């Protein structure tokens, strides 16, 4: 019986050792999983950083490209303003010519003695299309 008791005590000690080892292995497994998770996160971070750098580079390219577009937009606006200015000048010149023509024709008719015509004039809408 003594031998059996020794065997039982030995088994109990072995059982306790095994339980401790299992607990340590569980901790090690948790640590390993945490390490794996950390590695995945680091890889993901590196990929994200590479993507951010790529996007920043593309943003710089787009700024350079849009700089040309800004230049063309400024030129386009300048040309539009120039066209508007020239159109205004053309209309002013047309009006001055019309007024001068009307005054000269009326003066000529008076000198020629055409008294039936009091005030001959071309109206601003002549011809009908405005050109």
The alpha carbon dihedral of 34, 35, 40, 43 has a sign of positive
Domain count, the chain: 1
- pLDDT tens across 20-30, in order? 887 787 777 77
Does residue 127 lie in a domain region?
no
- Domain that includes residue 41, residue range: 1-89
Task: Please state the rounded mean pLDDT for residues 92-113.
Answer: 87
Q: How large a percentage of the chain has pLDDT more than 90?
A: 25
Q: Alpha carbon of 25 to those of 13, 21, 38: distances in Å?
A: 18, 6, 19
Does residue 17 lie in a domain region?
yes
Which is higher by pLDDT, 44 or 115?
A: 44
98 burial level (CB within 10 Å; 0-12, 13-18, 19+)? middle
CA 94 to chain centre: 45
In this prediction, residue 21 carries a pLDDT of: 83
In this prediction, residue 25 carries a pLDDT of: 74
In this prediction, residue 127 carries a pLDDT of: 65
Confidence check: pLDDT of 1 > 70: yes
In this prediction, residue 66 carries a pLDDT of: 76
Does residue 123 lie in a domain region?
no
Confidence check: pLDDT of 46 > 60: yes
Does residue 117 lie in a domain region?
no
pLDDT band at 116 (very low <50, low <70, confident <90, very high): confident
In this prediction, residue 90 carries a pLDDT of: 93
Does residue 14 lie in a domain region?
yes
Query: What's the rounded Cα separation, in Å, for the pair 8 and 5?
Result: 5
């Amino acid at each position: 019986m003594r031998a059996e008791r020794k065997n039982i005590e030995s088994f109990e000690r072995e059982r306790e050792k095994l339980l401790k080892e299992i607990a340590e292995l569980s901790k090690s497994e948790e640590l390993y999983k945490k390490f794996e998770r950390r590695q995945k996160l680091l890889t993901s971070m590196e990929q994200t950083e590479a993507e951010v750098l790529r996007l920043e580079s593309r943003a710089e390219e787009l700024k350079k490209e849009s700089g040309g577009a800004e230049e063309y937009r400024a030129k386009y606006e300048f040309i539009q303003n120039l066209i508007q200015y020239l159109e205004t000048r053309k209309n002013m010149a047309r009006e001055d010519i019309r007024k001068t023509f009307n005054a000269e024709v009326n003066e000529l008719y008076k000198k020629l003695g055409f008294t039936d015509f009091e005030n001959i004039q071309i109206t601003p809408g002549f011809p009908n299309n405005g050109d």
